[in-house]
Amino acid sequence: MCLMLMGCDDLQLNNPYPHEEAGQSILYSSFTERPKHLDPAVSYSSNEYALIGQIYEPPLQYHYLKRPYVLEPLSAREMPGIRYFDADGNQLADNVESEKIAYTEYLINLLPDMNYQPHPVFAKDSQGKYLFHHLTDEQLDDISTLADFNATGSRQVIAEDFVYQIKRLVHPKIHSPIAELMKQHIVGLDDFSKVVAEKKLLDIRNETISGVEAINQNQYRIKIKGKYPQFKYWLAMPFFAPMPWEADVFYNQQGLIDKNITLDWYPVGSGPYMLTENNPNRRMILKKNPNYHAASYPSEGDPGDMEAGLLKDAGKMLPFIDKVVFILEKETIPYWNKFLQGYYDASGIASDSFDMAIQFSGQGAAELTPELKSKGIQLQTAVAASTYYMGFNMLDPIVGGDTERARKLRQAIAIAMDYEEYIAIFMNGRGMAAQGVLPPGIYGYQQGQAGINPYVYEWVNGYARRKPLSVAKQLMVEAGYADAIDPKTGEALILYFDTAASGPDDRSRLNWYRKQFEKLGIQLVIRATDYNRFQQKMRAGNAQIFMWGWNADYPDPENFFFLLYGGNSKVKYAGENAANYQNPEFDRLFEKMRNMDNGPERFQLIQQMQEIVRHDAPWLFGLHPKNFSLYHGWYQNLKPNLMANNRIKYTRINAKQRAELRKQWNRPVFWPLVVIALLLLGMLLPAFYSYQRRAKETLQ
């Protein structure tokens, strides 16, 4: 049988997918952890957005190709019309000072031809009554997944659906993470939340928000308190996607909840894809939405995009891929091996396979190893819009405060902490040492000499070089800690590092921190705890030094600088300013900068703020991680876009090429089985003879 199989060229015994899928335009991707929520009002993490970003369509989206990131209409017909008003309701000029603005109006015109995906929530009988809004026990008996419903329907997406979704954000049953934030910004949302606090979710439809209103089927208006230019970025997030009221009526039936058929698991969207199978313990399948509105691939991009072949599909109708299969793959080793066999179209690079995939050229540039190159695999790298920092608790009597002593101590530590080394040792070079609050790609970020942190780095031969340790030691002397001796105790200065990293894998990292402080003679005591206790310490201001990070919600400097704004202090106001930093000048500049549109004046303000923060050093700017992604040659139209959640619709799979290469790479090898069988036989023969001999022996 083995010999027969050996003669079969097409055989792919290790193919994990059904044979009939071989030539189809299907993207195979994976997830490591089941998503917590797929309700767009609740979902707020990248792994969830990888799914719902393809299903729900908020008014705006990020342009797929243009950089820096630009917003463009998605379910909106054009960019929202923005008008400013004073407290009396008089319209103000576009360039009026932000202090005079009482509220801003966003007028959003919708695409006229948008329809929801086919879904049982819309199914009606011949009399126009909803078929499944009041399910009987008999009907429920036959239903275990959404696919078991025998009818579906659809309807047009209307402005009221967008308004309804904003109402959902503040209903206590929904637990939207942005509810409190949006109450601060959207006119009337706070009052609305009080009105509906004791009401059922289904009743919110009949209540109104003074600041949110559907003007007609294709137009709605949102009023924002004062000026909040960042609101447009929120409009590109699934929180503001349309939600039909029928979905809540349908999914709030107890019989369906008992079967885990809820809106949190089965979305109802109008985007290019619809979720047709959701087994979060195994796989999730997206299929093309047959009701998707007309949308085309961008016809313009950045310089170089044309040459890179990224505009070959310009103007063609989206989406290109018919089906997307997300498979639960918890472990990196099987995932990596399946990627190499061609059964996954893309992969990240885990640290244990990094050397197999990447090598560094003489100039330090990352490139693929010859083995991967020979498979036609492409490498894409992009610095994430994230920042990881070591924070100093500014309320701490030793490292905190605005005194010269504390500031110089912080600056000395900042020089001693060699993040270039950290990136090389612990991240395989996948990161860049941070020079300030902003990561690359965010407005206000400066490259080169102008962008370095002059308190930690110096510019030498065209490169930023960390200042020598002698400078740090001199700062220690100036701070009153000569030879790192604490003058109060007469012994070595002891500092405390609070962390939630306490596993065996973290030990080497924590030792590294300790060694960096030892360079200055400082004894670093690691106070490792679990994440809950760590957060409690942070809320109470009991931590001294800590590591934390931030992933951008949107590509605006406000989304980073607010982490240092005094009004967001964690201890005082339970905000996101974990360092509890408060500098009146910084706060003043921040309040001015956040309401400005991008331009030279804003750019200048940002540089001033960077300078203040670099000087005060409430953070030791750590690093910005660099994402390394691998893609097979048949996966096309790929350009790193760290902001867009709906990238899949632009990409394309050359299914024919993939099928051929898979066959080539996965021919089974049988001869070792034959060898093993012969070996076993060889071992059994003496056993057989020994048994025969024993059987003939006389009983003792």
With contact defined as beta carbons under 8 Å apart, do 128 and 154 qualify?
no
DSSP string computed for 652-670: EE-HHHHHHHHHHHT----
Q: What is the DSSP letter of 344?
A: S
CB of residue 615 to other proteins, shortest distance in Å:
28
Query: In the complex, what is the shortest distance from the CB of residue 574 to other proteins, in angstroms, rounded to a whole number?
Result: 6
Residue 617 touching other proteins (CB under 8 A): no
**Residue 17, CA atoms < 13 Å, CB-side half-sphere:** 21
- Residue 497 to residue 526: CA distance in whole angstroms: 5
> Tokens 């407290």 correspond to what residue?
87
State residue 500 phi and psi, 5-degree precision. -95, 0
Whichever of 518 and 576 has its CB closer to other proteins, that residue is: 576
Strand 60-62 versus strand 71-73 pairing type: antiparallel
Contact status: 523 vs other proteins (CB under 8 A): no
Draw the binding track, 335-354, toward other proteins (x: CB under 8 A; -: no contact).
x-xx-xx-x-----------
The sign of the CA dihedral 367, 371, 376, 377 is negative
Number of residues that bind other proteins (CB under 8 A): 63
CA-wise closest residue to 526 among 543, 548, 550: 543
Q: Is 113 in the site for other proteins (CB under 8 A)?
A: no
Comparison of 270 and 499: residue with beta carbon closer to other proteins = 499
* Residue recorded with tokens 């904003």: 166
140 binds other proteins (CB under 8 A): no
- Whole-number minimum distance, CB 284 to other proteins, in Å? 12
Minimum CB separation of residue 504 from other proteins in Å reads: 15
Tokens 């917590």 sit on residue? 36
Query: Which 154-213 residues touch other proteins, going by CB under 8 A?
Result: 172-173, 175, 177-181
Q: Kindly state whether residue 281 participates in binding other proteins, applying the rule CB under 8 A.
A: yes
Q: Is 567 in the site for other proteins (CB under 8 A)?
A: no
Give the single-character DSSP code of 221.
E
Of 213, 418, 486, 576, the residue at the interface with other proteins (CB under 8 A) is 576
Please select the residue that binds other proteins; options are 97, 148, 258, 404, rule is CB under 8 A: 258
CB atoms near residue 552 (< 10 Å): 21
- Contact pattern for other proteins over residues 308 through 327, marking x by CB under 8 A: -------------------x
Cα 354 vs. chain centroid, distance in angstroms? 22
Please return the burial class of 540, using the count of CB atoms within 10 Å of its CB with bins 0-12, 13-18 and 19+: exposed
CA 196 to chain centre: 31
Please, which of residues 620-679 interact with other proteins by CB under 8 A? 666-670, 672-673
Buried b (16+ CB within 10 A) or exposed e, 588-606: ebbebbbbbeeeeebbebb
* Min separation Cβ 262 and other proteins, Å: 7
Query: Smallest distance from the beta carbon of 139 to other proteins, in angstroms?
Result: 17
Tell me which of 8, 16, 290, 525 binds other proteins, using CB under 8 A. Answer: 16
Residues 369-388 touching other proteins, rule: CB under 8 A, are none
Residue ranges in contact with other proteins by CB under 8 A: 12-16, 18, 33-34, 36-37, 44-45, 172-173, 175, 177-181, 257-260, 262, 264-265, 279, 281-282, 327-331, 333-335, 337-338, 340-341, 343, 530, 532, 535, 553, 574, 576, 666-670, 672-673, 686-687, 690-691, 694-695, 699
